[in-house]
Amino acid sequence: MAFNNKIAPRSVDLSDWYLSVVEQAGLADYGPVKGTMIILPYGYAIWEKIVAFMDHEIKQKGVENAYFPLFIPESFLTKEKKHVEGFAPECAYVTIGGGETLTERLVVRPTSETIMYHTYAKLISSHRDLPLVMNQWNNVVRWEKRTFPFLRTSEFLWQEGHGAHATKEENYEMVEWGIRFYEKTFRDLLAVPGIVGKKSESEKFAGADSTLTYETLMPSGKALQSCTSHDLGQNFSKTFEIKFQDKDGTSKFVWQNSWGFSTRSIGAMVLAHGDDKGLVLPPRVAPIQVIILVIRPTEKLDIQAKKIASELKGHGIRVKIDSDDTKSVGYRINDAEIRGIPLRLELGQRELDQNQLTLAKRNTGEKLTFSVDQIVSQVPQLLETIHNEMLTKAENFLNENIRDATSYEEFKQILETHRGFVRVFWNQSEESETKIKLDCKCVSRCLPLDQEAKQGKDFQTGEPSTTQWLFAQAY
């Protein structure tokens, strides 16, 4: 991989910066088909860390993994009216297979509700079969006109969980579990804080009764819908005839939920933490947590580097040794910074003689000095500290960029001056949301779950309101 060390300045143009970092850190490349993306090893290794964490949590919850076909008969998709309206414009269709024109077009899955629930109807007959919750790790296709690596690509990787439950209440508990599980993943793994809330009627998932979302705020001041969990009610069970005989002997439709988390999360993480030097990776997903940079390598230094690396690996730390003396030290430091490696240990003969090794923290640029004996015991704690510092910094940015408005004028002014989230009392209506969209290129992001009940007035109509929504321009 060639690094030409030309990261576009982040402060000048965030999009240019993002594209150059994604390329130069070796996270991803463009696919030959417009809108598709190649996830290169360094980017894929981050996804593997996310998958490992999430898959463990999913299994702990008792959800089982399965795999459903990529191709969905078009007739399945059209069964649920709102679902097909939402997805049809984004679909890719297979029309030729095995040398013949197909009698029915096949949709390349944009999401798997319809094909899974066709099978759920066969697997469920009694209350003893419930809850039935399956998860898939797979690829989905949604044709996009404007694409951006990780954040919006025509094909992406994700997990999609699908639950069927006996009662409305138990079902909603699962919808909430889904979004809280995502919140945990974003905070604990990616150090990306966000707001958990409910989508408005016009912004909810096509086919859902309601949608919970995790909204993050990017340094541009634009929001990103980072993942969602849907309460599907009985919309699909009525369409796909998923019934069960309850304990009381009556036949009932199941209640359903679905929840998805994708490679978009990597884009959110890159945007949230990076700086002018490149990526800044949260330690828990960093493919390399510590790079040992050997300065003017000698046999003695290499042995010392391997000893330290081996001890760190023994503590479960991911380490890489860089002894490549065909490149300058400056170039190698630059490279480690572009790739966002959380800790850099500089190991030279002088440092060894003085028994003073330097650890550089990627997130703050701080340099800490330790004796050789201290290094191994310090690293795990330092990685924790870095995670916490990154999360706190991002939380501060988020909190500083939630501003209250009481009138539409004030609302528009905040958007123009600061972007960020604008918090308003709002009695949602489709007409008002359409108007705001036209005026401000902005829609409601969510009605946050974690806020106290308050009394106020709708920011447009002045009517009494108890619901405080967040609005923002978005990716």
Q: Which residues bind a copy of itself (CB under 8 A)?
A: 1-2, 29, 31-33, 36-41, 44-45, 47-48, 64-73, 76, 88-99, 105-106, 108, 115, 118-119, 122-123, 125, 129, 134, 138-139, 141, 143-145, 154-155, 157
C-beta of 152 vs 445, nearer to a copy of itself: 152
Q: Which CB, 52 or 303, lies closer to a copy of itself? A: 52
- Report in angstroms how near the CB of residue 92 gets to a copy of itself at its nearest: 4
DSSP state of 275: B
C-alpha dist (Å) from residue 165 to 119, 210, 332: 15, 16, 55
Considering the complex, state which of residue 125 and residue 371 has its C-beta at the smaller distance from a copy of itself. Answer: 125
Closest distance to a copy of itself from the beta carbon of 79 (Å)? 12
Cβ at position 142, least distance to a copy of itself in Å? 9
Least distance (Å) from a copy of itself to the CB of residue 162? 12
For residues 14 and 1, give the distance between their C-alpha atoms in angstroms, rounded to a whole number.
23
Rounded CA separation 311/234 (Å):
55
Beta strands in 375-448 (DSSP E): 402-404, 421-425, 443-448
| Distance of closest approach, residue 240 Cβ to a copy of itself, in angstroms | 12
Nearer to a copy of itself, 139 or 461 (CB): 139
Name the phi and psi angles at 77, rounded to 5: -65, -35
Helix axes 41-60, 264-273, angle to 10 degrees: 110
Which residue, 121, 212, 219, is CA-closest to 173? 212
Closer of 117 and 426 to a copy of itself (Cβ)? 117
Give the integer Cα–Cα distance in Å for 363 and 274. Answer: 9
Residue 443 CA to residue 65 CA, distance in Å, equals 35
CB of 443 to a copy of itself, least distance (A): 22
Beta carbons within 10 angstroms of residue 456's beta carbon:
15
Tokens 């760190």 map to which residue? 312
**What is the CB neighbour count within 10 angstroms for residue 176?**
16
Q: Return the number of the residue (182 or 240) whose C-beta is nearest a copy of itself.
A: 240
Give residue for tokens 């479960």.
316
| CB closer to a copy of itself, 14 vs 39 | 39
Give whichever of 2 and 12 is closer to a copy of itself, judged by the CB atom.
2
CB of 150 to a copy of itself, least distance (A): 12
Please state the closest distance from residue 472 (CB atom) to a copy of itself, in A: 26
Q: At what angle do helices 408-417 and 430-440 cross, to 10 degrees?
A: 40
Chain-centroid distance, C-alpha 171: 24
